[in-house]
Structure 1
Amino acid sequence: MPLHLISKLESFTRLSVLDRQALDAVVTEKQRRLGAREDIICEGDNPSHVNLILDGWACRYKQLEDGRRQIISFFLPGDFCDSHVYVLRAMDHSIGTLTPVTFAEISRDSLSQVTSRQPRIMQALWWDTLVQASIQREWTVNLGQRSATERVGHLLCELFLRLRIVGLADGDGCLLPVTQADLADAMGLSTVHINRTLQELRGAGLIVLKGRHLTIPDLPALQTASLFNPNYLHLDHVGRHLDAGTAGEL
């Protein structure tokens, strides 16, 4: 059962037992496992299926001819790497793993069948697509207008909330299995600048980083310092307010 995907979609709408079974069926058709720093799909490839991250972290990135890389987005467990990507003739970006990743390859036909038969899944996937576009807009604002400290703090707030909604945050902490070089490539900063910025956030008592674990002792304080408004994540939807008794409906 793709629990992380279901947790995320249920922030939008309550899925029925049949909805969950339908998602489980398409996700278990074909699964793959890659190590860290491998490409799931490369720029120029012909996309024939949709990839769903089941475990681990990946990213969407563009790479210049001289090797410089810009990370455009992070993919977490439960994230589709573009739910309609198969309509393209060729990829205009690459998707690579940051950690070992397990992902499902879902064919166009399978996804079309499940969305046509289960309208709540179709609506939830459209919601997810719109949220991904909203996140991309916020990243543009981040790179264009926020200071280095605000950028990094904003990203940490976003990742923490996205992990929390799929059940991967533990109280005020979560795993952060990315390197400072990854953060630099995502934030348009040098690794030296990222290191200095993280030290500033630590020194202000806004974050605690121990190895691959992030703790945010006071989330509202970090949000204020980072000019972070979570409205672009659209987490407050009908699925979060329905009675638990509706969960078993067909």
Structure 2
Amino acid sequence: MSVTTDRIVQPLIRRLTSTANPSDEVIRALADLPFTVKSFEPGQDIVRDGERPEHCAAVIEGWLCRFKLLPDGGRQIIAFHIAGDMPDLQSLHLGVLDHSISAVTPCTVALIPHEALRQRTARLPDLAALLWRETMIDAALFRGWVTAMGRRSAYGRTAHLFCELHMRQRAVGLAEPRHSPMPLRQTDLADAMGLTSVHITRTLGALRKSGLITLQGRTLTIHDWDGLCQAAEFDPSYLHLGKANG
């Protein structure tokens, strides 16, 4: 495996091994996949609602978001994605994408042709099962977001988002026990939580005054993990990580 290929494949392998135990054969098949590397600036779309992509994207560096645009121009973010994620894996079978994916930060993405993935999964049922598992975990994340949006207060749903993003980053080695990269603007948080920027500002202030977190610059510092989980009513089982870690 070349240095370049290693840099591309390792985030994806770290992600997959955080939730499963892929065989050496599956890992070699992933490492041998053809890909095209592209860089994107914040706000630049990787793929748009209604398009028929011919590639799946694997995040190498940076953050992406999935979102829907409303007729009035409002944006609802429905997921954030970090290094190792494949945010449009479902496009392998659905054809037309029903949402958009955009860069939140400067990011680097590997575009893997659908045809190459289809050939590998047809030859290796274990790889097909692994990618199918990823789509099921993706669905579990959606259920977690829907529950938070529909039944939790602004305070609770924001705490829940921070718990989720912290644990997902910890699982792939991108965060320390009490510190996580958090390069989201308040407008990103507002669009993810279904709140106004003013409401997000108040909510972040309340979490800070409760002694739970500090969000400064591009870093989230968690002062009281147990308290944050309690505020969020956070049960990490929906993340399906091999080992829950706070």
Indicate whether 1:184 and 2:190 are aligned.
Answer: yes
Query: How far 1:18 moved relative to its partner?
Result: 3.3
**Aligned-partner Cα distance in 2 for 1:192–1:120:** 48
Q: Which residue of 2 aligns with 1:226?
A: 232
Structure number with the bigger relative contact order (C-alpha 8 A, sep ≥ 6) is 1
Q: Which residue of 2 aligns with 1:76?
A: 82
Indicate whether 1:131 and 2:137 are aligned.
Answer: yes
Query: How far 1:217 moved relative to its partner?
Result: 2.2
Cα 1:220–1:116, aligned 2, differ >3 Å: closer, same or farther?
farther
Indicate whether 1:50 and 2:56 are aligned.
Answer: yes
Code of the aligned partner of 1:199: G
Q: Secondary structure at the match of 1:65?
A: coil
Q: Which residue of 2 aligns with 1:10?
A: 17
Query: How far 1:117 moved relative to its partner?
Result: 3.5
Q: Which residue of 1 aligns with 2:117?
A: 111
The answer (yes or no) to whether the contact 2:66–2:99 under 8 Å persists in 1 is: yes
Stretch moving more, 2-11 or 169-178: 2-11
Stretch moving more, 151-160 or 99-108: 99-108
Post-superposition Cα deviations, 1:101-121, rounded to whole Å, max 9, x if no partner, equal 111111122112222334433
Aligned-residue Cα RMSD (Å) equals: 1.7
The answer (yes or no) to whether the contact 1:151–1:226 under 8 Å persists in 2 is: yes
**Aligned-partner Cα distance in 2 for 1:86–1:235:** 24
Indicate whether 1:19 and 2:50 are aligned.
Answer: no
The answer (yes or no) to whether the contact 2:67–2:101 under 8 Å persists in 1 is: yes
**Aligned-partner Cα distance in 2 for 1:17–1:132:** 24
Query: How far 1:89 moved relative to its partner?
Result: 4.0
Post-superposition Cα deviations, 1:54-85, rounded to whole Å, max 9, x if no partner, equal 11101111112221110011111111123131
Alignment TM-score, normalising by the size of structure 1? 0.89
Alignment TM-score, normalising by the size of structure 2? 0.91
Q: Which residue of 1 aligns with 2:126?
A: 120
Q: Which residue of 1 aligns with 2:179?
A: 173
**Aligned-partner Cα distance in 2 for 1:103–1:144:** 32
The answer (yes or no) to whether the contact 2:214–2:221 under 8 Å persists in 1 is: yes
Code of the aligned partner of 2:197: T
Code of the aligned partner of 1:142: A
Residue segments in structure 1 that go unaligned for 5+ positions in a row: 241-250
Residue among 204, 208, 214 paired with 1:202: 208
Post-superposition Cα deviations, 1:2-30, rounded to whole Å, max 9, x if no partner, equal 2222122113332343332321222x521
Code of the aligned partner of 1:21: R
The answer (yes or no) to whether the contact 1:34–1:101 under 8 Å persists in 2 is: yes
Q: Which residue of 2 aligns with 1:217?
A: 223
**Aligned-partner Cα distance in 1 for 2:25–2:77:** 37
Stretch moving more, 36-45 or 79-88: 79-88
**Aligned-partner Cα distance in 2 for 1:219–1:14:** 28
**Aligned-partner Cα distance in 2 for 1:141–1:147:** 11
The answer (yes or no) to whether the contact 2:20–2:242 under 8 Å persists in 1 is: no
The answer (yes or no) to whether the contact 1:12–1:124 under 8 Å persists in 2 is: no
Q: Which residue of 1 aligns with 2:3?
A: none
Indicate whether 1:62 and 2:37 are aligned.
Answer: no
How many residue pairs end up in the alignment?
Answer: 237
Post-superposition Cα deviations, 1:178-233, rounded to whole Å, max 9, x if no partner, equal 10100000000000010110111111110122200011122222101111111111
**Aligned-partner Cα distance in 2 for 1:29–1:126:** 20
